[in-house]
Amino acid sequence: MTELLADRIERQAAADPSATAVVAAGERIGYGEFWDRVGRTAAGLDGVERVAVLPTSDIDSLVTVAAAMYAGVGVVLLHRHLLPRQLDRVLRLARPAHVCAAAGHPRLLRRLGWAGPIRTVADLDSGGAAGRARPDSELLVGITSGTTGEPKLFVRDQRSWAATLDRSDATFDIGAGDRVSTPGVLDHTHFLYGALHALTRGAAVDLRPVTAALTDRPTHLYSVPAIAWDVVRSASGPIAGVREVLSSAARWPRPGRAALQEALPAATLTHFYGASELSFVSFDRGLGDTDESSAGELFDGVEVRIRDGRVHVRSDMVFTGYLTEAGVTDGPVDGWFSVGDRGALSGNRLRLFGRDGEMLIRGGLNVEPAAVEAALAAVAGVIEAACIGIADERWGQVPVAAVVVANAGPGVEEIRKRLRALLPSPSMPDRIRVVERLPRTPRGKVDRTALAALFG
């Protein structure tokens, strides 16, 4: 049977309790102490079905998440970009027993509109016994497409997460004595997963911002294109020691990869494609294919079929389903699931042509143009609007918008001011242009190619 996440961390803690487990701003903890805190927090969660956590880049957040996963308690992973109405819906659907944040960070939850009690690791600490997770225990309730529109809550179980860890073990060269930098906030599953995987391998996890982490010579860097760009801009010369960069999110353009390779000359650049519902699907290394649609080769054990132009995936890593008012529904059918990406398969190599609904990914966060357009249309004086994503060296993609306004209608700055009350920051258009009319195809639809040309 595949070893579960907590069992793997426990094994590493027993093997070398004095080894550094986690480094954060101004704090450090060894494996023995980390595992002791996980066990005591798990005991405080005994008998609980779910706990909601708004993690930040600190040890307390990682202890809380690991403790819940140890005890078989589902982690409702909240996100700092949720709007108050979105947070309300998430908590109403998930019904967590506790809402948790790291000590000193309750203001983040208050800003999101949560007025109830906030628990910390200290509040959950207990000397009692904790239950243990089973393979079919719920592990994570995450939020996808939740930076705009109505959040969708995806559910992963312990078995699927353990299978994902197995793929990481086989694909990424991480082991005891290594130092893994996960500089993104832990409410992003890419960085949370990177930290937890490193702990299952006996490596030290560095949660600090990337510029600080690089001064201590990490061997591995979890990244998205935006963080890679930060490394390039901050590097005064080649940085030695980094063996591998593990990147996800939006397509990583070759010029950005080449710039990072110059800054980290000893690093293997690995970029992988996946989704919250699918986990790992494919990966490529180095500068990537000259074909910008290439998503690399499939991970072992991943099957892909193209049906009506859409990519359908089957593996032991896919999610259980979406949490709704009716329970967990709309999961894989006969093991197969699609998130709507369009693509083609040639042998073991996958190509991607975009996603149904034209969703874009800004620095690893989903942005739905339709929701941006709805917010723009809600601004008094805006007659119609269109939003698209364009390539950006730092963020991978950014939303831009064209609007038609009435006579004496609002200007760009006024539109921006009103949008701030309607959209989370990742969904704010990078540029807004007021136009006389939106470009349209002969069939009357917005001509998105012409719109992209408008923004150069």
Better-predicted residue by pLDDT, 432 or 353:
432
100 by DSSP, 3-state: which?
Answer: strand
| Least trusted range by pLDDT, from 174-178, 372-376, 430-434 | 372-376
Q: How far is CA 286 from CA 167, 214, 270, in A?
A: 19, 20, 7
**Residue 437, burial from CB neighbour count under 10 angstroms (0-12, 13-18, 19+):** exposed
Pairing of strands 310-314, 303-307: antiparallel
Number of C-alpha atoms within 13 angstroms, CB side, residue 357? 17
255 pLDDT higher than 80: no
- Residue 225: the pLDDT is 77
pLDDT in tens, 99-120: 999 987 788 899 999 999 999 9
Q: Which amino acid is at 211?
A: T
- Residue 378: the pLDDT is 86
pLDDT in tens, 289-337: 877 788 999 999 999 999 999 999 999 999 999 999 999 999 999 999 9
76 pLDDT higher than 70: yes
**3-state DSSP of the chain:** CCCCHHHHHHHHHHHCCCCEEEEECCEEEEHHHHHHHHHHHHHHCCCCCEEEEECCCCHHHHHHHHHHHHHCCEEEECCCCCCHHHHHHHHHHHCCCEEEECCCCHHHHHHCCCCCCCECHHHHCCCCCCCCCCCCCEEEEEEECCCCCCCEEEEEEHHHHHHHHHHHHHHCCCCCCCEEECCCCCCCHHHHHHHHHHHHCCCEEECCCHHHHHCCCCCEEEECHHHHHHHHHHCCCCCCCCCEEEECCCCCCHHHHHHHHHHCCCCEEEEEEEECCCEEEEEEECCCCCCCCEEEEECCCCEEEEECCEEEEECCCCCCEEEECCEEECCCECCEECCCEEEEEECCEEEEEEEHHHCEEECCEEECHHHHHHHHHCCCCEEEEEEEEEEECCCEEEEEEEEEECCCCCCHHHHHHHHCCCCCHHHCCCEEEECCCCCECCCCCECHHHHHHHCC
- Residue 147: the pLDDT is 44
Task: Give the separation between CA 423 and CA 85, rounded to whole angstroms.
Answer: 11
- Comparing C-alpha atoms, which of 333, 342, 350 is closest to residue 311? 342
328 by DSSP, 3-state: which?
Answer: strand
Query: What mean pLDDT value characterizes the chain?
Result: 91
Residue 396 phi/psi, 5° resolution? 85, -60
- Comparing C-alpha atoms, which of 131, 108, 127 is closest to residue 55? 108
| Average pLDDT of the residues in 123-150 | 86
186 pLDDT higher than 90: yes
160 pLDDT higher than 90: yes
Tokens standing for residue 379: 């601004």
Task: Give the separation between CA 368 and CA 246, rounded to whole angstroms.
Answer: 25
Count CB neighbours of 216 within 10 A. Answer: 13
Count CB neighbours of 7 within 10 A. Answer: 15
359 pLDDT higher than 80: no
What's the pTM value of the predicted model, to 2 decimals?
Answer: 0.85
424 pLDDT higher than 60: yes
- Residue 1: the pLDDT is 62
Task: Give the separation between CA 164 and CA 148, rounded to whole angstroms.
Answer: 27
Instruction: Report the percent of the chain where pLDDT is more than 70.
Output: 96
Instruction: Report the percent of the chain where pLDDT is more than 90.
Output: 70
